[in-house]
Structure 1
Amino acid sequence: MGNCLCKWESSIYRVSSNPKSDSSKEQPKVKREDSKLPSNPEEVEDLRGGDSAANPLIAFTFEELKTITANFRQDRLLGGGGFGNVYKGFITEDLREGLQIQPLPVAVKVHDGDNSYQGHREWLAEVIFLGQLSHPNLVKLIGYCCEDDHRVLIYEYMARGSVENNLFSRVLLPLPWSTRMKIALGAAKGLAFLHEADKPVIYRDFKTSNILLDLDYNAKLSDFGLAKDGPEGDKSHVSTRIMGTYGYAAPEYIMTGHLSPRSDVYSFGVVLLELLTGRKSLDKSRPAREQNLTDWALPLLKEKKKLDNLVDPRLQGDFPTKAFHKAAMLAYHCLNRNPKARPLMRDIVDSLDPLQISAHPFPTEKTVITVSTEAGAYLFVADMDDCSEYIGVNYGKRCMQLLIS
């Protein structure tokens, strides 16, 4: 992919837990004739260049979006953020004659209409990046609307919403260990794909609210508004103005503006900590020393005996201890203050893959003996020290008599 963002450098604002509020204070509003940003679908496709044919996107009219969302009805509202509101919609066969798309649910993200240069630039970044990239762990962009003052993005619908909502919800059931590791692996694969693309991409805003889940809890990265082309050749980083979300951004990026793929690795470490602890990266409702997750967790991560203090109590002990320790150590390495000491995303994927709990809970390399009785079948595991790894909880010697039928 080309250096699509080189003409529209990010404007400065402080890394914050509320990027929208900061950017609105410091972003001057720029008239469209001075912004050099596209004002219609033809100009968008010109900027996309030859990639349009390889990854076609549908340019929707605003009237079509009204039809898709039932005129942006309030009961279709899925949520909102720094960009604007997101609505659930349905594309049907009769929407437009000749439209080659099957009926499907979609998520329609509408620009909030402040017409800021930064908002339009982020909208364009998503169109270009997601219009060029395709991967099972990236949300699929179906189309966009660039008409008058309307800037809208149309994505595939992700039925379970964000990881943030699922992990920290007080209404939904706590995410089990296996689901948390599945999410971590899927998100890691998405980042690894970006970092290893022909033209490397730095995501720059990796956090739980930007990871979406489908019905099967498959994780997909969304919101590419802050994504940036990564360094090429012998370069180790790109220099850019600081943008992102406080609590997730790498310390060297905040201090120097030097952005590299290892900046994403740091953010991944924060999200992995959130999955392990059930705590938010920044939580002002907690005691002062525990409000910043990494500041609280790093001293505990340094000592194996203290790792159990990190466990999300909502797991209620239902997790494999050794796997938890391995995941905690992985998070520790991702959060290294020295970016060069952090692992690559491909290595993180390799580390997380063995932590997945398969449909068959007993690894084939372990000795398992099945004894049939009138009451059913019992399993005897040769290595009792690892028994808790197989069934998710430490039942001690009771797992020698685990009734399975």
Structure 2
Amino acid sequence: MASCFPCLSARKKEVPRSAPANPHTSSVPGTVARTFSFEELAAATRNFSDACRIVGREDGLYKGFLKSINQVVAIKLQHAVDPSGSSEQDNGEFLALALMMSGLRHPNIVNLIGFCADGHHRILVHEYMPFGSLEDHLHGSSPGKAPLDWNTRMNIAAGVARGLEYMHDKGVLYRCVKSSNILLGEGYHPKLSQYGLAEHDQLSAPAAITGGTWGTMAPETVMTGKLFPGSSVYGFGVVLLEMITGRRATDSPQDVEDRHLVTWARTMLKDRSQFRRMADPALQGRYPSLDLQEALEVASVCIHKDHATRPPIGTVVTALSRLAYDVDPPESSHHAAPN
């Protein structure tokens, strides 16, 4: 199927690769991260109460309102420095992480607003994404919530690919591309959470993996514990399959062979007559047949077993730009996720 990938260039409904950001969620180039005191962040979260906890994402993640900047934010408790340890080294590593994050400014990456290195506390402050994660909308069970339509799914996919392309161009690795790390703002504008960044940022030195999700991690990462540029392309391919099929990356169906989305998809992708069966039933057939075929072709080359054979993320961006319309869905058709 990889041979079919170049044929995507024949499509006419192309949008610019550097599509403008949603006005409600755009980044401000050159923004410098602020410093916050622990007392200010504690006050914003009612002393980090359970009522302010953002459920279902990262541990230690809270929603708070910062009066000093008049903004609702997401506050991430990184860790408390061990007083008996090398606090100078810990502080240096944390500040280096904050500096790297603050330098990532793109419409499809969640902005770091500031940080706290007050005493033993190490806390990151990001912009708050009101519509929750892509996982919430694909696999959540909130009553009355309409499923994401085809156009919205393709817009999200194209935006995520642009964010990954920007990171690769900056020499930054993304540790775990998965639907829970893709956050949604107004108009379902997607942004990659910075909590999925790898511990090391240079593509020239593959980074050891300390965490991830089975089903979304590339084979080479599972086998060697290393991360390569093609590894995030694989993770993106799994997420694209999730959006197309409505299936989780790893599920627990009665048929063991269907448990892993990639294993199931590779079997189905061998026969184009099966493509319609792969579409999410929640879409109720409301998608262009040719677009479904092309989206599956993109996903197919992204999940190739050999990371060197997968396309560069820039090639994926070009292909998906022909499937995305960048039209915000009607607000009445979806509902914001809680928290």
TM-score class, shorter: 0.7 to 0.9
Residues 124/204 of structure 1: CA separation in 2 closer, same or farther (3 Å cut)? farther
Could you give the per-residue CA deviations for residues 281-339 of structure 1, whole angstroms, max 9, x where no partner exists?
A: 11124531111110111110121111112111011111111101100011000011121
Q: Which of 27, 36, 43 does residue 60 from structure 1 map onto?
A: 36
Following superposition, the deviation at residue 85 of structure 1 comes to 2.5
- Matches of 1:344 and 1:86, distance apart in 2: 33
Gap change, CA 1:124 and 1:79, over 3 Å in 2: farther
Q: Is 1:226–1:244's contact at 8 Å kept on the other side of the alignment?
A: no
Counterpart in 1 of 2:125?
154
| 1:176 matches 2:152 | no
Give the letter aligned to residue 154 of structure 2: M
Q: Which residue is equivalent to 1:87? A: 62
Inter-partner Cα distance in structure 2 for 1:312 and 1:61: 46
Q: Secondary structure of 1:229's match?
A: coil
Deviations 1:98-156 (A, max 9, x none): xxx4x211111224659699x99996665232112111111000111122332211111
Whole-angstrom distance in 1 between the partners of 2:156 and 2:309: 24
Q: Deviations over 1:354-392 (max 9, x none)?
A: 1123659xxxxxxxxxxxxxxxxxxxxxxxxxxxxxxxx
Relative distance call for 1:268 and 1:315 in structure 2 (3 A) is: same
Distance in 2 of aligned mates of 1:67 and 1:298: 50
Of structures 1 and 2, the one scoring higher in RCO (CA 8 A, sep 6+) is 2
SS at match of 1:87: strand
Structure 2 residue 49 is matched with structure 1 residue 77: no
* Residue 292 (structure 1) aligns with: 260
In structure 2, C-alpha distance between the alignment counterparts of 1:182 and 1:134, rounded to whole Å: 20
Q: Is the 8 A contact 2:244 2:278 kept in 1?
A: yes
What displacement does 1:74 show? 3.0
Q: 1:107 aligns with which of 74, 79, 89?
A: 74
Q: Give, as a single letter, the amino acid of the residue that structure 2 aligns with 1:327.
A: A
Q: 1:286 to 1:279 in 2, by over 3 A?
A: farther
Would the aligned equivalents of 1:110 and 1:151 in 2 still touch at CA under 8 Å? yes
Distance 1:173 1:354 in 2: 25
CA distance in 2, matches of 1:149, 1:285: 45
Instruction: Determine the C-alpha separation between the residues in 2 that align with 1:190 and 1:63.
Output: 33
SS of equivalent to 2:122? strand
Aligned counterpart for 2:314 among listed residues 303, 327, 346: 346
Aligned partner letter, 2:43: T
Equivalent residue letter for 2:267: P
- Residue in structure 1 matching 2:292, options 306, 309, 324: 324
Which SS does the other structure have where 2:74 is aligned?
strand
**C-alpha distance 124-281 of structure 1, shift in aligned 2 (>3 A):** farther
Aligned residues: 291
2:232 corresponds, among 254, 257, 264, to: 264
CA distance in 2, matches of 1:319, 1:81: 30
Distance 1:120 1:79 in 2: 28
Cα pair distance change 1:225/1:120, threshold 3 Å:
farther
Q: 1:212 aligns with which of 159, 173, 183?
A: 183
**Cα gap change, 1:147 to 1:290, in 2 (>3 Å):** same
Q: What is the CA–CA distance in structure 2 between the aligned matches of 1:228 and 1:190, rounded to whole Å?
A: 18
Long gaps (5+) in structure 1? 1-53, 96-100, 361-405
Match of 1:195 among 168, 177, 195: 168
C-alpha separation in 2, matches of 1:280 and 1:65: 35
Distance (whole Å) between structure 2 residues aligned to residue 132 and residue 72 of structure 1: 27
Higher strand share: 1
Q: Give the alignment's TM-score, normalised by structure 1.
A: 0.66
Residue 228 (structure 1) aligns with: 200
Separation in 2, partners of 1:154, 1:244:
22
Amino acid paired to 1:88: K
For the aligned residue pairs, the C-alpha RMSD in angstroms reads 2.6
Counterparts of 1:19-38 in structure 2 under 5 Å? Answer: none
The within-5 A match list for 1:298-337 is: 298-337=266-305
Instruction: Give the conservation status (yes or no) of the 8 Å contact 1:126–1:225.
Output: no
Query: How far did residue 87 of structure 1 move?
Result: 1.8
- The residue identity in structure 1 corresponding to 2:66 is I
**Cα pair 1:289 1:296 within 8 Å, conserved:** yes
